[in-house]
Amino acid sequence: MSTVHVFGAAGFAGAQLAALIDAHPTFDLGQITARSDAGKPLAEVAPQYRVARELAAPDADAVREGDLAAVCYPHAEAAPLVAALLDRGARVVDVSADHRLHDPELYPSVYGFPHPRPELLAEAVYGLPELHRDAIRDARLVANPGCFPAAALLALLPVLGEARDVVIDAKTGVSGAGRGASSEVHFSTVTESVSPYKVYEHRHAPEIEQELGAPVTFTAHLVPVDRGLLATCYALFDGAPDDAALRERYRDYYADHPFVEVVAAPPGMRAVQRTNYAQVYPALDPRGGRITTFGVLDNLMKGAASGAVQNLNLMAGRPETEGLLAA
Ligand SMILES: NC(=O)c1ccc[n+]([C@@H]2O[C@H](COP(=O)([O-])OP(=O)(O)OC[C@H]3O[C@@H](n4cnc5c(N)ncnc54)[C@H](OP(=O)(O)O)[C@@H]3O)[C@@H](O)[C@H]2O)c1
């Protein structure tokens, strides 16, 4: 039995993650932490998960060597805790963006802070099992992907290195913004509308570019749903003679990846909500030379919490699917 501590468990991603660990057949839920909600049962803060355990103030010193931990803090707040946990001998999945970018120089411009432990960026493994599964198994520090990058990369991995001039048009549900209230995510702002945001300045673009190894044009849109994220990707591509061959390439790529389903029609969010599954669908322009690929997932699950559990399973030497197939 491995103990898994969840830091930031009152937040959207952290509460979902604590619930998954609580129900996991071989992980023990360690501390689940919060600041203002410390002392309350998680079930009071996030009643949908029915986790009776009480939230407590974070205590990194109570983490033992060999424990696993997941950090679900906002970016810049996670990095110091992640370093402290590693220094105590824990292995960590950072659900925030603080260890996703390998290049420390990007942190001030993209995230607005100088990275406090740049050497950890060289060590961190980007936590997309469909790309880095073997490295995740042995990692001390796994950087869980952002939700947009996870969907876009899954839609593009089978054509990695061959797709050119990639354009990603992505839509996310409002839970992607976390539990904090703001006018941008107010019900009255979001309902019955679709809004693009952070055009040419979204923080997930450099992350996608790092993993794809190529520049992309990325635009995010907010849509009036709670959970779900759809990435529609357009690219120049000459590597498949017809639709059937392109789909075969996708099926081959994902044959050994239990949580990515290559589906027979463009996928919608409903098929993956509250699951660790992602669905992908590639289509070839009948005129040739161009593809449109789709990736859809639940931003709080495969895009955050259950994706983190998939990584924790690999790190602990457990079956990758453990505790996730029913979710
Ligand atoms: N939402 C998503 O779909 C999604 C997807 C992928 C990745 N992520 C990443 O996951 C992380 C958490 O996102 P979220 O959506 O769950 O955000 P959230 O709902 O705002 O939760 C963040 C939690 O972090 C805690 N926190 C805030 N500032 C802190 C600080 N200075 N020190 C300690 N704890 C602090 C808060 O706990 P207290 O209330 O106790 O202060 C809060 O509950 C972020 O880095 C986000 O980028 C989110």
Q: What is the DSSP string of 231-294?
A: EEEEEE--S-SSHHHHHHHHHHHTTT-TTEEE-SS---GGGTTTSS-EEEEEEE-TTSSEEEEE
Cβ of 180 closer than 6 Å to ligand 1, yes or no, is: yes
Which residue has a Cα nearest atom 35 of ligand 1?
73
Cα(162) to centroid of ligand 1, in Å? 36
- Domain boundaries defined on the chain: 2-144+304-315, 148-297
Locate the DSSP E strands across the chain: 2-7, 27-32, 68-71, 91-94, 125-126, 141-143, 164-172, 195-197, 216-222, 229-236, 260-262, 278-284, 290-297
Contact 223, 191 (CB under 8 A): no
Q: Is 37 in the pocket of ligand 1 (CB under 6 A)?
A: yes
User: Which pLDDT value is given to residue 327?
Assistant: 62
pLDDT band of 181, cuts 50, 70, 90 = confident
Q: 146 in ligand 1 pocket by Cβ < 6 Å?
A: yes
Three-state SS for 196? Answer: strand
| Confidence (pLDDT) at 1 | 84
Q: Across residues 93-113, what is the average pLDDT?
A: 98
**Residue 252 pLDDT exceeds 70:** yes
Q: Is 176 in the pocket of ligand 1 (CB under 6 A)?
A: yes
Fold of 2-144+304-315: Rossmann fold (3.40.50)
Please indicate whether the domains covering 2-144+304-315 and 148-297 agree at the CATH topology level. no
- Minimal-distance CA residue to ligand 1 atom 26: 73
Torsion of CA 311, 307, 154, 216, to 10 degrees: -100
Mean pLDDT for 283-301 is: 97
Q: What pLDDT sits at residue 111?
A: 98
The pLDDT of residue 300 is: 98
Given CA atoms 134, 138, 139, 143 in this order, what sign does their dihedral have? positive
**Ligand 1 probe mutation, 48, 81, 92, 95, most atoms within 8 A of CB:** 95
Which residues partner with 4 through β-bridges? 29, 68
Q: Is 125 helix (H, G, I), strand (E, B) or coil?
A: strand
Report the percent of the chain where pLDDT is more than 90: 99
Give distance in angstroms: CA of 94 to centre of ligand 1: 11
CATH class given for the domain over 148-297 = alpha beta
- What is the C-alpha to C-alpha distance for residues 291 and 296, in angstroms, rounded to an integer? 17
The mean pLDDT value of the chain amounts to 97
Model confidence at 153, in pLDDT bands (50, 70, 90)? very high
Residues 11-16, mean pLDDT to the nearest whole number: 98
Q: Is the pLDDT of residue 141 over 90?
A: yes
pLDDT at 95 over 90: yes
Look at the pTM and tell me if it is higher than 0.85: yes
Contact 259/313 with Cβ under 8 angstroms? no
Task: Render pLDDT for 22-71 as a digit per residue (tens, 0 to 9).
Answer: 999 999 999 999 999 999 999 999 999 999 999 999 999 999 999 999 99
Q: What is the pLDDT of residue 78?
A: 98
Q: Of 246, 245, 252, 226, whose CA–CA distance to 293 is shortest?
A: 246
